[in-house]
Structure 1
């Protein structure tokens, strides 16, 4: 990938001191200003869409050598879109709060005229001819695509450190992983390069890196957003994922993708003891519990959680292998060895195991309904440990050795099997690194999750504007 280090667009230069908001040391411009505020600034003439594109590209190039969040940019296309957005806004055509806002897209999702490599040497020459439906919806809302973000190869891993273009590093500490598979999207938002990004989430691929990087990650209800134009991993589990700095920003993005929904806040929130699902680092469990404690109305238990984790392994592994059978047999040398080994293990799953897993998923979807009706939402940590170091494959939790990949997926994958919407929001730090609170709701409850998440965020930062 070749990076352009200079921005030679006259309109893209900042026009006034008022347009240059102070940014915190290290973090990029968009870490300190929300989407609604940016939209207001554009409409008042303090800043232009091209200014925002210019900032995003400059921040991207500044951060790229440190965190490897991007695989490609469309600078000319972004400035052309910025010029159209400015003309439209000036003429009274207002597409909504995302009009003129720069966003990035995970490199398993098609953007017209840009490569979709899926982090793999298999697809290094693939060029998308059309926008994926989710991208087209953002474009119609006026959002400006600046580039494609790094992904774990074929989105098949929660660590974010296996890609043809190298690992994504955590902006909070570059010795640690950003999580995966939507690693670049989460890292780019966390670094303040962009305010919003698209990812995907099959078993936690938006929520895990959101927790690791200290941002918001939403997995919608399965089927709520179209996945056409996305490189499939496990079709009965795949969803588009949303990454943002705050729940309020994420809600604006969700509305652009899905439309306005009338919602009521849930009656309560039930706390799930994460140790009943998977061993959890005590500091993680206590920090997340303290954050949500005032909102809890009881404690809940998901008896099927262990079975659901195994069900995820079987369904995801079998479906992923089905997607890759020809490539695995025809050109295995082009895969990262770890990704190839995981795909091959999926090929060893027997047909009766897959059928049994599908049946268990169906029965579990029925048995979870009373719990959701009782509490409205469920809460637990997003991941059971602090973000591991790059290339870590074993970690110690409560004195026992655990496999890093399994640990990262342990608290997110059950809800993916059930097809439920879930969100991760920042919940403070442990060992100096971010951790996440996960909220889970009934099908179609994305807006409730986002509004409740915003309410929780407000109790943590009552003076934070957006």
Structure 2
């Protein structure tokens, strides 16, 4: 489903990378043209949206000229050659400062790329710059970082969602057509939904996390943010180091719409809008399923214990030696994380295996499970409560409620734009069985095109 352009729109807004790649090869565009368009869009929009935390035009243009030289020499490294790409600021790059959104690493520069970035470079893409991350990727709002708050292209008073805040804003606004993000509890799919773009969390360990600053090593994923599913698949293939295996035409048996309330309250208008797209895509294969109702609370508690224990392990020395350098909310979350006991962590690892087995059993009956990506539209920056009907709930809990279970299980999950509610984007989340990334991407690409 295509959205209208946001209030703050740049050159790449809604553009297809596949079409841009065709024009590069036809000679009607150059990589330098595209990179200048990206830099001009960033210069115009970033003062408002704060999506990029570092851009180096000479470095970007040098990469673009190299891509054009390769085209002129008949060297074609693949469909990303010459395409501008942004990288989240918790992913190492050798030629840009990587702060992880924290004062602890102000001015830090890694001596090498993360493996996923290395693969993107080897495919000939142009790394334009680094995008804002919630500090250490430990937050779903995207408004707590060394560099401040990212702003939503549809309404700059509102959050983007996080923690891949800048990456989603950069793509949604058209500063770049592709961006790398990370996802530990929803950090790709949440901002993709709130900004109106495609976000894909692959199966666990499908894309290597080497060179990505850890939040929770048993839950961390790396994936693409894009305008279109086909573009997300293209970037995913490069980061994963393989091409998706072709699948036959989709013949869906059953698609389970997760019963409202299973993972928490949902804005009725958001549910109506998202369900409408689900019905358009899946038709009679769509049916309500309540099978997750008995699992939801336990999955949330299990993920929370895993994430807290592993996050505190990463930051224990910083919490001991320089706690004042953390942003206040992130420090408070880490203080809570300190309280997870050893037996709780061990039990959580055992429960994680049990939930994976339970979900595998459910996927014997369903091709996909679907739900809203996020049960609310974007709230204002700094808001920490939101009203849903008669309830007032925590913004962060609401943002994470429908996404985090699939990190616990390591399942592939795709977020798609599903239109707007009260002028702000909402998203449909489609979850596949473990390891079925190729099937999920290709089937949804075909169905979405047909729609």
Q: With structure 1 as the length reference, what TM-score do the two structures score? A: 0.92
| 2:6 and 2:154 in contact (8 A); partners too | no
> What's the CA shift string for 1:320-351, capped at 9, x where partnerless?
01100000111011111110000110011111
- How far the C-alpha of 1:241 sits from its partner, in A, is 2.2
Q: Is the 8 A contact 2:8 2:153 kept in 1?
A: no
Aligned partners of 1:274 and 1:381 also within 8 Å: no
Pick the aligned partner of 1:401 from 368, 392, 397. Answer: 392
> Which of the numbers 272, 279, 293 marks the counterpart of 2:265?
279
Paired residue for 1:290?
Answer: 276
Instruction: Give 1:386 shift.
Output: 1.1
SS at match of 1:199: strand
> Partner of 1:201 in structure 2?
183
Q: Secondary structure at the match of 2:365?
A: helix
Is the 1:74–1:145 contact (alpha carbons within 8 Å) kept by the matching residues of 2?
Answer: no
Structure-to-structure mapping, 1:415-454, within 5 angstroms: 415-454=406-445
Structure 1 unaligned blocks of 5 or more: 1-22, 461-466
* Residue aligned with 2:430, SS: strand
CA shift, 1:354, in A, is 1.4
- Judged with a 3 Å threshold, the aligned counterparts in structure 2 of structure 1 residues 397 and 103 are, in CA distance, closer, same or farther, namely same
383-392 vs 293-302, which deviates more? Answer: 293-302
Q: Are the equivalent residues in 1 in contact too, given 2:207–2:223 (CA < 8 A)? A: no
Counterpart residue number, 1:372: 363
1:256 aligns with 2:242: no
State how many pairs are aligned. Answer: 438
CA displacement, residues 72-128 of structure 1 (integer Å, 9 cap, x when unaligned) = 012222111111111111111111111100000000001112111011000002111
Contact 1:425 1:438 in 2 (8 A): yes
Counterpart check, 1:340 vs 2:322: no
2:344 to 338, 348, 353: 353
State the partner residue of 1:19.
Answer: none
TM-superposed CA distance for 1:24, in Å, is 8.6
Cα distance in 2 for partners of 1:25, 1:148 equals 23
> Do the aligned residues in 2 keep the contact of 1:280 with 1:385 (CA within 8 Å)?
yes
SS of 2:214's equivalent in the other structure is: coil
Q: Which residue of 2 aligns with 1:224?
A: 206
Runs of 4 or more above 6 Å deviation = none
Change (3 A) 1:188 1:24: closer
CA contact (8 A) 2:92 2:110 kept: yes
Secondary structure class of the residue paired with 1:327: helix
Write out per-residue CA displacement over residues 396-427 of structure 1, whole angstroms, 9 at most, x where no aligned residue.
11311111111110100011101111011101
What is the CA-CA distance between 1:263 and the residue it aligns to? 4.1
Please report the TM-score for the alignment, with normalisation by the length of structure 2.
0.94
Partner of 2:167: 185
Q: Does structure 2 retain, via aligned residues, the 8 Å contact 1:186–1:197?
A: yes
1:413 aligns with: 404
After TM superposition, give the deviation of residue 210 of structure 1 in Å. Answer: 0.3
Secondary structure of 2:54's partner? strand
* Distance of 2:393 and 2:116 partners within structure 1: 36
Kept after mapping to 1: 8 A contact 2:168/2:179? yes
SS in 2 for 1:63: helix
Check whether the contact 2:6–2:153 (CA below 8 A) recurs between aligned residues.
Answer: no
Contact 2:8 2:154 survives alignment (8 Å): no
**Counterparts of 1:278 and 1:90 in 2: how far apart (Å)?**
55
Cα separation, partners in 2 of 1:349 and 1:25, compared to 1, 3 Å: closer
Quick one: distance in 2 between partners of 1:122 and 1:24?
34
Q: CA RMSD in A?
A: 1.4
> Are 2:87 and 1:96 equivalent residues in the alignment?
no
With over 3 angstroms needed to count, the CA separation of the structure-2 counterparts of 1:39 and 1:24, relative to structure 1, is farther
